[in-house]
Amino acid sequence: MSSQSLQRIDRLTARVLEYQALVKKTNLNANELQKRTQLGDYLIQTVWLIAYRYPVTVKILDEEDAAEFILCFYRRIPVLVNEFRYEYISFESYLKKVVFWQSNSFLKRKRRRENRCPCDPNDPETIQHLITDDQYPGYDSPYRNVASESLISEQPVLFGTDETWDFDTRICKLLKKRMKTSRTLKNRLLQLILLCCDRLNALQIAQLAHFLSIEEDRLAHLISQALEIGDRRMQIDTELRQIRDAHFQEYLRSQGEMEMLESLCADAYYVDRMRRRAERAKDLFVLRCKESRSRPSAVTHAAVAAVLSIPKGTVDSGMLSLRRLLYQLMDDNG
C-alpha cells in the first residue's frame, strides 16, 4: 500500500499494515528488525487493552469475566494482527467486532458449564429458581435454559421465599419415603443444604433437621464449619482480586509512561526500564487472574467435601444425581 493511502487511514491501522509489510519483507537490516520488534510489541499490548476494555464498556462482560476472557483470547492476538486485511474498515473496528462475538461466545460457554451443576457457581436464589418452583413466571435468569423448564413444579420442594416451608407436599413425602431406604439420598440432600447454608435462618435450619431426621445441633455445627471455610475462602479470593487489580493498574501506568517517554524521544535506558516494569506487572496480573475466581456463593463443593470428609468428586456426582432425581419427581408428579 502506498504512503498516500496510509495517510488516509487511522494510526493503528497504519501501524498494523506497516508491521505486516516488515514481516513479509526479507533481508531486513538492523533498524528494520528493531522497528518490526517494537511494532509487534506495541500492537500486541494495544490489542490486549482493547480486548479487555471493550466488553466491559459495552456491558457484555464484567471485569471478572473480562479478565478470564483475556486469558482465553490472548493466544489469538498475533493471528489477528497478521491476518488483518484492510478493506476500508479500520483495524480497531475489525478487532471490536471479533471481540464482541468472541466475548458473547465465551459468556455462553461459561453459563453452559455452570448449568451442568448449578449448586456450585450460583447463589441459593438462582438455585431455587432452577430446581424448585415456578412462583415467578416473569423470572428471566441468564442461567435459565430449555432444560430448566422441565423442573417446573406447582409447589415448592425444599427452598421457598417464605420464612417457613411446607413439607407436606407430594414430592417432599416421596423424598422422605426414599430417605428411609436410601442413606445416599439423605447424604446428598445434606450436601445440598450445606451448599445453600449461607441463606438459611435458625427456623429453616430446624425444619431441615427435622426433615432429614438428624439432630439440629449436628446440622448447625456442620453449617458453621462450612461457613467458616467459605468465609475464609471468600476473604482470600477478595485479597487476590485486589492484588490482581493493583497489578493491572500498575501495568496501565507503566504502559502510559513508556509511551510518553517514547513520544518525547527519551533515552533508551529509561524506556527499557519502563517496558520491563510493564511486562512484570502484566505477568503478575495474569498469574493473579489464574489464582482468583469469582464465586457468588460462599460455600463450594470443595468446602462441603472438607466438612463431611469425603472426596470433592462425590459431591459433584451427588449433586448431578440429585438434580436428575428432582427432574424425574417433578415431571412424574407435576
Distance CA 315, CA 26 (A): 59
pLDDT value at residue 241: 78
CA atoms of 82 and 19, how far apart (whole Å):
8
- Cell 430449555 -> residue: 146
Percent above pLDDT 70 for the chain: 78
Confidence class for position 161, pLDDT limits 50, 70, 90: very low
Q: Decide if pLDDT at 299 tops 60.
A: yes
Q: For all residues of the chain together, what is the average pLDDT?
A: 77
Say what the pLDDT of residue 149 is.
34
Contact partners, residue 131, CB within 8 Å, separation at least 6: 118, 151, 157, 159, 323, 326
- Distance from CA of residue 289 to its chain's centroid? 11
Confidence of residue 147 (pLDDT cuts 50, 70, 90): very low
Pairwise CA distance, residues 43 & 272, whole Å = 17
The stretch 162-177 carries a mean pLDDT of 77
**pLDDT number for residue 116:** 55
Distance CA 270, CA 181 (A): 74
- Dihedral (Cα; 265, 269, 273, 278), 10-degree rounding: 30
Mean pLDDT confidence for 7-20 = 82
Residue 124's pLDDT is what?
53
Predicted pLDDT of residue 114: 67
Half-sphere exposure of residue 204: CA atoms within 13 angstroms, side-chain side: 17
* Between 127 and 310, residue with greater pLDDT: 310
The pLDDT value recorded for residue 12 is 87
pTM, two decimal places: 0.40
* Measured CA distances, 199 to 123, 133, 190 (Å): 9, 17, 15
pLDDT band per the 50, 70, 90 thresholds, residue 68: confident
Distance, in Å, from the CA atom of 30 to the CA atom of 34, rounded to the nearest integer, reads: 6
Is the pLDDT score of 144 beyond 70? Answer: no
The pLDDT-based confidence of 143 (bands split at 50, 70, 90) is very low
Q: How far apart are CA 327 and CA 185, in angstroms?
A: 15
Pick from 80, 75, 94, 93: nearest CA to 43: 80
User: Pick the residue with more confidence: 190 or 144?
Assistant: 190
Does 137 have pLDDT greater than 50?
A: no
pLDDT at 101 over 70: yes
pLDDT at position 164 is 60
Task: Please choose, from the candidates 306, 127, 133, the residue with its C-alpha nearest in 3D space to the C-alpha of residue 228.
Answer: 306
Provide, rounded to the nearest whole percent, the portion of the chain with pLDDT above 90: 0
Q: Among 244, 224, 236, 245, which Cα is nearest to 295's?
A: 236
- Contacts of residues 97-106 at CB distance under 8 Å and 24 or more positions apart, as own/partner, are 99/50, 99/51, 99/54, 99/55, 99/73, 100/54, 100/55, 100/58, 100/60, 102/69, 102/73, 102/76, 103/55, 103/60, 103/61, 103/66, 103/69, 104/60, 106/61, 106/65, 106/68, 106/69, 106/72, 106/73
Alpha carbon 51 to its chain centroid, in Å, reads 16
Tens of pLDDT, residue by residue over 172-227, are: 888 888 888 888 888 888 888 888 887 777 788 888 888 888 888 888 888 888 88
pLDDT for 163 equals: 53
Residue 130 reports pLDDT greater than 70: no
